[in-house]
Structure 1
Amino acid sequence: MTIEQIIILLLIGYIIFTIDTKQENFPVPTILVIIGICLVFVPFFDSIQITENIIYHIFLPALLFVSAYQFPIKDLKKNAGLILTLATIGIIITVFLLGTLTWLIAPIGFASALVVAAILTPTDPISVVSIIKKATGNDQIADTVEGESMLNDGTSIVLFTTLFSVANQEKSFSLISFLGEFLLVSLGGVVVGLVCGYLVSKIVHYSHHRQYQIMLSIILAYGSFLIAEAFHVSGVLATVASGMMISFEYGRAIKEEHFRESLDGFWKIVEISLLAILFLVIGIEITEYIAINFWLYALVIFIFMIIVRMFIVFVITKVVHQLPWQHQFLISWAGLKGSMSVFLILTLYAKNASGIDSEWMVAVSFTVVLLSLTVQSLSMAPISRKLLK
């Protein structure tokens, strides 16, 4: 992307965010994706491309860090059982069930169907969290959806990597090996993030200027991610853990209030700027891969995805944390797909695997993501008001 293209994309993002000042009229990221699809027909944007590395190493660390930093620690403690179960056991069972249903109707093997399921499992509630809060006034639903999303990104990458290797016949599947790798990668990422966050919370006192303290937070967001990746553990979970750790440390003393104010002001600007560019570019990128002859498959898989999601949420909330059925339904419906799914799709495309039908998988997955972003997010506000009026 050229600097001119970036500025134009930011301008478009500014206009859309400004129109929806109260964040309750429509899901801004979804509108940006739709606008991005329209921009494909403008020659000025022909050269815009986004790769899996750009999403993973530039966009995700910052977006995950700001979400984790701003996530209320008290709400995490209150809903920890439900969030952790949905983001771990829930996502693993979801992949198996959705993969099985996909395999029954798709012209691909079972292992490849599981890969598609792993792509379509991580949730991205950026489009709907603010709408849920405004429409329902219920923070628990929004906090559960947002907390699950931050944690299941790391889980989905481990699942995708393992299942792709099996589907591409690079290695055989072993449950014990998978669980061992899953625990190592996940817990290792969390440990790296907690250590980095704790160290930065102490080091920051040597910087008396707010600008330098903010600079240190940028180093933390990307540094924890890169350190974890260097140790072959989850950079995603490291960034989330570091953001939560520094939030926890600065929530313990009033004297840190000035730092939180500066940090909030900076990262809120970064968040909306990155979101504007990312979702506009996703809209531009997604049109290249969508094939009309695969839409029926995508529609059926989208319906399967909704059904499986609802089943998992209803079962887990019954066992772990009792909730009214209206809350269960909204948590299920809010589990739409976004940036992490797009990253996994582009990763699959970049690998150009010979052992699987990657063209079908990429086209169908992109179409399901588009359906999820439009159907689920655009209907979130009216459904929320209807169920909790």
Structure 2
Amino acid sequence: MFDALTIIVAIAALFSYFNHRLLKLPVTIGLLMLSLVLALIFAALREVSPDVFHQACEIVLTINFREILMNVMLSFLLFAGAMHVDLKVLEKEKWAVLLFATLGVLISTFIVGALGYVVFNAIGLQIPFIHCLLFGALISPTDPIAVLAILKDARASKSLELKISGESLFNDGVGVVVFLSIAMVSDMGLEDFEVSEIFHLFAVEALGGVAYGLVLGYVGYLLIKSVDDAPKIEVLITISIAMGGYALAGILGVSGPLAMVAAGLLIGERLCSGRFSEKSKEHLDIFWEMLDEILNAVLFVLIGLEVLTLSFEFTYFVAGLVSVVIVLVARFSSVGLSYSLLKNQDHSKIKTIGILTWGGLRGGISVALALSLEPSMSREMIVFITYMVVVISVLLQGLTIKSMVKRLTT
């Protein structure tokens, strides 16, 4: 495992340098593109030099993508992302963020599930409706990592940035809860399923996760405040919150992702409000920003190399291409329906919905959830389709969102 991680980190560093010097693309997009090229080179060597191909596959398989993202990286990524969001500014968009991250995820899940069921079975893929809903749940959460830097470069409005970043912080946790709920129905069967169990799961996982995260963040704030003259200890305390707090959430049975978002927002709000010394704020900001960028670089290299582990079939490829369109339709519908419930809408409603739709990139959490499926849950097909949707959304939407924002906002 250590050797495999060493190789991945080295590749991430090399590709980051190459992208910075030559490609000059947004980091995550550049790394994903270069990793895909490397994976395709290894795939081309399969017949010429099978040993090299198998060694490359072994490195990728040694690093369990689902485990390393869900149990190691996700807590740091969500905590870091939440820490750098100004809670007072986010409050202005609270209803939009809440609707997009809850109602929007649910609407998208069922639209993707329904359309996917019709299309997949029409092209010869016999897949149960409940498995299509699982795909809808895992593909609905959005990932802002690749698009936020582009939005800033395109000088998108602060309101638009907050809608996308705020939504993505919360819909990861909500998406996981919805995914677990549908998986529970799939395991139990409709005849033994009770709706009350879903509400219980949502209350414990989602609401419990937020409450636990706020308590965790406040305790962390008190500890940091008590050693305000020791920035290195303060950094260590925040690391323990992200690692220990996330692990404890799993033991308590509450949502770790939502807990990390709540804790990060609370500590970030204390940082922005000047309750820490400037030295402490500087150390915490620099550390978490660097860690966030390093983990994202490794994550997108892993996503790119994961193509080596996929089972390719032509029908899967067709289903993947169609799914890209289905996911965009579901995104447009869910954002539009959620946005229509807001009282204070801007004058360019359709333009905002268009940008929110195209800016809703999918990321690593979708791949990780797909990999967590049991083989009996149409795992092989769903993993392949999910991977296609994620890669195409990052490369196609990520590379064109800047020009779209400029065209619609000027």
Scaled to the shorter chain, the TM-score interval is over 0.9
Picking from 207, 210, 218, the partner of 1:190 is 210
Q: Residues of 2 paired with 1:274 and 1:139: CA distance?
A: 25
Tell me if 1:8 matches 2:10.
yes
Select 1:331's aligned residue among 340, 356, 372. 356
Inter-CA distance 73–361: structure 2 relative to 1 (3 Å threshold): same
**The one of 273, 278, 301 aligned to 2:294:** 273
Supply the RMSD in Å over aligned alpha carbons.
2.0
Q: Secondary structure at the match of 1:322?
A: coil
Q: What residue is the counterpart of 2:183 in the other structure? A: 164
Query: Which residue matches 1:301?
Result: 323
- 2:105 is aligned to 91
Contact 1:13 1:273 survives alignment (8 Å):
no
Q: Using the TM superposition, give the Cα deviation of residue 256 of structure 1 relative to its aligned residue in structure 2, in angstroms.
A: 3.0
Shift of 1:28: 2.3
Unaligned runs of 5+ in 2: 43-51, 121-125
Determine the structure 2 residue equivalent to 1:145. Answer: 164
SS in structure 1 of the partner of residue 34 of structure 2: helix
Contact 2:225 2:276 in 1 (8 A): no
Structure 2: which amino acid aligns with 1:209? Answer: A
2:386 to 365, 369, 372: 365
What corresponds to 1:32 in structure 2? 31
Contact 2:110 2:133 in 1 (8 A): yes
The amino acid across from 2:89 in the alignment is D
Task: Verify the 8 A CA contact 1:250 1:257 in the aligned structure 2.
Answer: no
Moved more, 221-230 or 328-337: 221-230
Task: Report deviation, 1:232.
Answer: 0.5
Amino acid at match of 2:165: E
The answer on 1:48 being equivalent to 2:60 is yes
Q: What whole-Å deviation, never above 9, does each CA across 1:342-364 have from its counterpart, x for those lacking one? A: 1101111xx33x3x322222222
Please state if 1:220 is matched with 2:263: no
Where does residue 47 of structure 2 map in the other structure?
none
- Residue type of the alignment partner of 1:85: L
Alpha-carbon spacing, 1:150–1:184, altered in 2? closer, same or farther (3 Å): same
Distance 1:76 1:16 in 2: 35
Gaps of 5+ in 1: none
> CA–CA distance in 2 between the matches of 1:132 and 1:178?
37
What is the DSSP-based 3-state SS (H/G/I as helix, E as strand, rest coil) of the residue aligned with 1:319? coil
Verify the 8 A CA contact 1:118 1:156 in the aligned structure 2: yes
Contact 1:86-1:313 at 8 Å conserved across structures: yes
- Cα 1:255–1:4, aligned 2, differ >3 Å: closer, same or farther? closer
Between the aligned partners of 1:383 and 1:157, the Cα distance in structure 2 is 30
SS at match of 1:220: helix
- The 1:217/1:292 distance shift into structure 2, 3 A limit, reads same
Percent identity between matched residues is 28
Any residues of structure 2 matched to 1:90-109 within 5 Å, and which? 90-106=104-120, 107-109=126-128
1:183-224 deviations in Å (ceiling 9; x for gaps): 221011111111111111111234332111111110111222
Are 2:345 and 1:322 equivalent residues in the alignment? Answer: yes
Q: Which residue of 2 aligns with 1:174?
A: 194
Alpha-carbon distance change, 382 to 57 in structure 1, aligned in 2, over 3 angstroms? same
Write out per-residue CA displacement over residues 21-73 of structure 1, whole angstroms, 9 at most, x where no aligned residue: 9xxx6332122122222223354744233321111111111111110000111
Say yes or no: does 1:18 pair with 2:20.
yes
Q: 1:104: how far off?
A: 0.8
Q: CA deviation at 1:147?
A: 0.7
1:120·1:341 contact (CA, 8 Å) conserved in 2? yes
- 2:96 matches 1:82: yes
Q: Secondary structure at the match of 1:299?
A: helix
Match of 2:139 among 120, 123, 142: 120
Which secondary structure does the structure 1 equivalent of 2:389 belong to? helix
Taking a change above 3 Å as real, the CA distance of residues 85 and 109 of structure 1, as seen in their structure-2 partners, is: same
| Post-superposition offset of 1:278 | 1.0
Deviation at 1:318, TM superposition (A): 2.0
Q: For 1:343 and 1:72, locate their aligned partners in 2 and report how far apart those are by CA, in whole Å.
A: 29
Conservation of the 8 A alpha-carbon contact between 1:32 and 1:279: yes
Q: Which amino acid aligns with 2:168?
A: S
Partner of 2:45: none
Count of matched residue pairs: 382
The farther-off stretch of 108-117 and 313-322 is 313-322
Q: Is the 8 A contact 2:16 2:31 kept in 1?
A: no
1:258 is matched with which residue? 279
How far apart are residue 88 of structure 1 and its match?
A: 0.7
| Partner amino acid, structure 1, of 2:178 | L
From the superposition, tell whether residues 233 and 92 of structure 1 become closer, same or farther in structure 2 (CA, over 3 Å).
same
* Counterpart in the other structure of 1:242: 263
8 Å contact from structure 2 (residues 311, 380) kept in 1: no
- For 2:223, the equivalent position in structure 1 comes to 203
CA contact (8 A) 2:107 2:330 kept: no
Structure 1 residue 12, shift from structure 2 partner: 2.3
Match of residue 252 from structure 2: 231
Change in Cα spacing, 1:190 to 1:20, as seen in structure 2 (3 Å) is farther
Q: CA deviation at 1:292?
A: 4.4
1:163 shift after superposition: 1.2
Compared CA separation, residues 330 and 342, structure 1 to 2 (3 A):
same
- Contact 2:204 2:253 survives alignment (8 Å): no
Structure-2 separation of matches of 1:14 and 1:206: 38
Deviation at 1:13, TM superposition (A): 4.5
> Which deviates more from structure 2 when the two are superposed, residues 295-304 or residues 35-44?
35-44
Deviations 1:79-133 (A, max 9, x none): 0000011101111121111111111111211101101111110100110011112
C-alpha distance in structure 1 between counterparts of 2:287 and 2:319, whole Å = 43
| Cα distance change, pair 14–361 in 1 and its aligned pair in 2 (3 A) | closer
C-alpha distance in structure 2 between counterparts of 1:147 and 1:272, whole Å: 18
- Letter of the structure 2 residue corresponding to residue 18 of structure 1: H
Amino acid at match of 2:354: F
Contact 1:85–1:316 (Cα < 8 Å) also in 2: yes
